[in-house]
Structure 1
Amino acid sequence: MTSPADDIELADAVGAIRDGLLEASSRGTGSPLRFELGDIQMEFTVELRREVRGKGGVKAWVVNASAEGAFTDMRIQKVSFTLKPKNAATNGGWDISNETEGDASRFESGN
């Protein structure tokens, strides 16, 4: 079983993905090469817990895949969803790029 210090709330996991994508996008400022970010498919195994303190309600906590078998007596569910990223300012798609030009010198030719 995980300790409270190891718990990651589902909202925090999705937020970390958002933060990583924003970081990748900001690194590409000014680059002539951009990648359009497509649909993001995510899947998590979560433990559903009813919170009795504070506002209460039910929260979903991400379960470590290696510990998944240890949760036989808890409410474990697989949650999968697709996110479609949008630029908040333009409502259009989102681009990710890199400021440094790529280097293919370490790749061997197929000849």
Structure 2
Amino acid sequence: MTGDGGVTGDDAATWWGLLVEDYLQIMGPGARNHSITPLAHVRGTREEALQALRERALRYEPRHPVNPYRKLVYRDGDVFLMVLEAATGNYCYRFRAAELLWDSAPRPEPAG
């Protein structure tokens, strides 16, 4: 939805943000950096958004670490978790679908 106000009751018309949260270890052990990035916006039901999110989570190739030796992807309810094991430690990514309630910019185009 964009800045035009009301919410429709039509679940198929709902916009969802496919989001990734990363927790990167920086500046030594114990120091953390957290960010949330929209990967895409999709229109449809929650189930359709979760299916699109699942596909994104399985294909996701983060910038860090550069050469992980193991990649694990878990599902916990509506959340997908990725753990990358690397020589420098573990890197964790969380994927979730969130209903877009307000957007001051023009309506996003659906993911292709």
TM-score category, normalised to shorter length = under 0.3
Report the TM-score, using the length of structure 1 for normalisation.
0.28
Larger % of helix: which? 1
Larger % of strand: which? 2
Report the TM-score, using the length of structure 2 for normalisation.
0.27
